[in-house]
Amino acid sequence: MLSDVTTPQDLDDRFRETLAALPAAERRRDPADPVTDDAPLTGAQVLDLFDAQVTSRQLDLAGRWLRSFGEGFYTIGSAGHEGNAAVAAALRPTDPALLHYRSGAFYCLRAAQAAADPSQAADETRTADPTRTADPTWAADETRIVDPTRTADAARTADGTRIADPTRAADGTRIVDDARIVDPARTAAAARIADPEPTDGRPADRDPGSTADREMSEPEPSGTEPTAAADGFGAYAEAARDVLRGMVASSLEPIAGGRHKVFGRADLAIVPTTSTIASHLPRAVGMGLAVERLRRLDSAGRRTGVGVRVGSGAGAAHAPWPPDAIVVCSFGDASVNHASATAAFNTAGWYDHAGLRIPVLFVCEDNGLGISVRSPEGWVAATLRAKPGIRYFEADGVDPVGTYVVAAEAAAWVRRNRRPAVLHLRTVRLMGHAGADAESAYRGPAELAEDLDRDPVAATARLLVEAGVATGEELLARYDETGWQVRRLAEEVLGEPKLASAADVVSALAPRRPVRVARAVADAAARASGPGAGARAEAFGGKPPELAGPMTLAQSINSALADGMLDHPQMAIFGEDVAAKGGVYGVTKGLRDRFGAARVFDTLLDETSVLGLGLGAGLAGMLPVPEIQYLAYLHNAEDQLRGEAATMRFFSQGAFRNPMVLRVAGLAYQEGFGGHFHNDNSVAVLRDVPGLVVAVPARPDDAAPMLRTCLASAAVDGSVCVFLEPIALYHTRDLYAEGDGEWLAGYPEPGGWVAEHVPVGRARVYRVGSADDLTIITFGNGVRMSLRAAAVLAEEGVGTRVVDLRWLAPLPVADIIRESSATGRVLVVDETRRSGGVGEGVIAALVDAGYVGAARRVAGVDSFVPLGPAARHVLVSAEAITDGARTLLAR
């Protein structure tokens, strides 16, 4: 039994002693009646909370048991936080949730909610398990067929058959203030009758709605398992199996597929979060902003319901949640101090002050500790109360009815007013931070004993016994029955397959479907020249960009953004100064006037919040195009890309995605305006993020097609793209001599978009002279400098091919190898730094491919870029490129 597991504080033994000491009530209470005379919950509903809490507690014990013999890999548990089951009960199962890692009881209760009423499950076009079926124990008229396997006290008759459960009401469901709590004895409706994952260890595609979009067919899943009704604890069996699979890194785990232990499932509207140190809070704010925007679209009649595609362009997306949904985001008290939390609270309050509505309920689960660091008494409450624009609620998580009442009030307030609120939920932490945590090193015996006296599961049991809904013996029997079932499930998942190869691990990371992306671009061209031609002409004031003559890089990007806005109705452009001013460099000039303040808007001065808005909006079905004003400013918020954006598909197997095209003005060579914050040449952090697409357009005739590719890739594959725009080339007009206009290019009409399409990861080659003597591989500002150097070399009889990488991630390796092998001499021109720069990746690609020719690098110095003329000493120049080429040719 799991009760034999040794845990800090002997939590199981203490719980048993508590139940044994509870005197029976003088009279039994009908579970269909309120649990106390003035309570909004019935006895049956509080039993539901107890079952969710007990399942979570037994899962914590199972985690320790699995770890004891090396088969469990995650022991951060929910013990002491089980009061969050009442928070789940106060919400709707269609309210999207980003959960703290101590949310086991919330997860179990949410699963029971959705199972009891499948019509309330999140967007059924995206359900995580396509094989679920109706509960066979319900008759056609929805009357309950007696389940002989269910009992209150787990007692068996002499012949081994189960006796009925006298403590269960036939229907314990009750709606209080628009919140739903369910009786898990009724929740087998969503029980599995077949295992939705393949048995060969290959992760399943968790987004059935995208099945038709796969470029290659996949075998159907196979395998069977018992229904939840046979498990004896209803829908909690499914939730328990999910969590246990995460603990043992089973590839059959329904959200991350063995990549991490997270709480998440698309059909439960639970979005996985891989770090709960506040990094998910900015996304929650973005989700709230997007949910409200889409709700307003509903009101205007432009969207007709959940699951209906928003827009008609290539980026049309499912609206995954109901129009009146609210976003719930839970986190620990220590996270209140994190910069990401401050950013999220500030952004929510800032927008509220500005009159924009963000329906987010923050839930701070305050156990007073961040591992071993204490939150000073009163600090969390003072901090949360002081947040402007955010309504404050507080509750004691040890009191299930009180927590439910306050959580229901808070949820109703957010839902009604569409404004942010925070629920400060006081909890305790039992069994330490994780399995290896020895609390005795930093907490005294008296403090630990005080927390034990506030065990929320024991408190719920005490309420049920004192109310006469159940006896201590009956509740202990339920506890033990759940323990046996969790132990049985734990033993089952032990034998399940793990991810078997690197290919398995990365399969969900960042799908690339270039054929579909090219098709999306072609479809956009057809719409722009066909049914959308009139709207396009109107948006451009009767003069489309193809008639405007040669353009600069900035002008080409501006026109491509406008075309993107026309083709993607859910696309939004936002960032610091992008709307009224049109961007520091005028790149977004005029777009707000054309498309309105709802789609082109300024944000507050905080990069973390800008990215968080983008991540949340993408998750909600929009196509966000945020701007970071300078590359150096991205470093303030880069974990929103690394830890949140790039991991979403990876840890949800595609069930959730956050498409985004992030525009960043960057790189060096600005004249008259410098310093390292405006001349930043550091891109290593971007190239190091798995799955991220990094585009660097150098010329106007590349900028527009590359931006169209990024928008299509985000819409089709859910890609996270960084569109890094060289500031120094924004308004450049000339190449070789002043007035030659050779850095300008015309904007193609829609009929030419297909011919000029630039796939992700394909380079561009310029041939100067014979192009037989030397290959220069470069990007960004290096393209213009290298072409100037090639012209000088041509006068010396040297033929050069200049390769513009265009994509820094993924690198165009095939093009690099082909063009390098053609000459046998490679000069890599890298305007970033020698250490950690792009050139290292190019050289490594050549070595890995077996290239045996000569190679040399010209790269920036390992230095920040200084102000003024001193910058020339650390940056690459055309003269340095020419000299490097001559040295290479002389070998």
Tokens of 161: 């058959």
Pairing relationship of beta strands 764-768 and 800-804 according to DSSP bridges: antiparallel
Are 508 and 655 a contacting pair, CB within 8 Å? no
Distance CA 856, CA 839 (A): 10
Distance CA 29, CA 45 (A): 13
Distance CA 98, CA 349 (A): 19
Residue recorded with tokens 């307003």 = 296
Residue 217 CB coordination number (10 Å)? 7
The residues, ordered by sequence, that sit 6+ positions from 58 with a Cβ below 8 Å of its Cβ are 2, 240, 479, 482, 483, 486
Bridge partners for 270 per DSSP: 97, 265
| DSSP secondary structure code for residue 185 in this structure | G
Low pLDDT (below 50) residues in the chain: 124-232, 301-318
Alpha-carbon torsion angle 150, 155, 157, 160, nearest 10: 70
Are 590 and 260 a contacting pair, CB within 8 Å? no
In single-letter form, the type of residue at position 33 comes to: D
Distance CA 88, CA 484 (A): 25
pTM for this prediction: 0.84
Pairing relationship of beta strands 764-768 and 693-695 according to DSSP bridges: unpaired
CA angle in degrees (0–180, nearest 5) for 800-802-804: 175
Helix, strand, coil percentages in the chain from 3-state DSSP, rounded to 5: 40, 15, 45
Residue recorded with tokens 């340095």 = 880
Distance CA 802, CA 675 (A): 29
Distance CA 619, CA 95 (A): 13
Phi-psi region of 669 (alpha: psi -120 to 50; beta: other; left: phi over 0): left
Neighbour-count burial for 47-81, b at 16+ CB within 10 Å, e otherwise? bbbbbbbbbbbbbbbbbbbbbeeeebebbbbbbbb
Are 722 and 659 a contacting pair, CB within 8 Å? no
Radius of gyration for the alpha carbons in the chain, expressed in angstroms and rounded = 30
Query: For residue 729, with 0-12 CB atoms within 10 Å meaning exposed, 13-18 middle and 19 or more buried, which class applies?
Result: buried
Tokens of 777: 């591989």
Beta strands in 85-233 (DSSP E): 97-98, 174-176, 179-181
| Per-residue confidence (pLDDT) for residue 79, from 0 to 100 | 87
Number of H helices, E strands in the chain: 27, 24
Distance CA 728, CA 340 (A): 32
Alpha-carbon torsion angle 209, 709, 521, 216, nearest 10: -40
Are 679 and 725 a contacting pair, CB within 8 Å? no
Distance CA 546, CA 549 (A): 7
Tokens of 168: 């269960």
- Which of 242, 236, 270 is CA-nearest to residue 51? 236
Distance CA 83, CA 425 (A): 8
Distance CA 124, CA 128 (A): 9
Sign of the C-alpha dihedral computed for residues 114, 119, 120 and 121 taken in this order: positive
Tokens of 552: 């600069």
Query: For residue 146, with 0-12 CB atoms within 10 Å meaning exposed, 13-18 middle and 19 or more buried, which class applies?
Result: exposed
User: Following DSSP, what letter does each residue of 19-48 receive, concatenated?
Assistant: HHHPPPPSS---TTSBSSTT-SSBHHHHHH
| Per-residue confidence (pLDDT) for residue 533, from 0 to 100 | 95
Pairing relationship of beta strands 391-396 and 373-374 according to DSSP bridges: unpaired
Are 563 and 569 a contacting pair, CB within 8 Å? no
Sign of the C-alpha dihedral computed for residues 256, 261, 264 and 267 taken in this order: positive
| Per-residue confidence (pLDDT) for residue 6, from 0 to 100 | 62
Residue 440 CB coordination number (10 Å)? 12
For residue 260, indicate whether it is catalytic.
no
**Local structure of 70: helix, strand or coil:** coil
Distance CA 612, CA 451 (A): 36
Q: Which of 678, 731, 757, 873 is catalytic?
A: 678
3-state secondary structure 474-522: HHHHHHHHHHHHHHHHHHHHHCCCCCCCHHHHHCCCCCCCHHHHHHHHH
- Which of 257, 769, 179, 156 is CA-nearest to residue 500? 257
Distance CA 742, CA 795 (A): 19
**Local structure of 873: helix, strand or coil:** helix
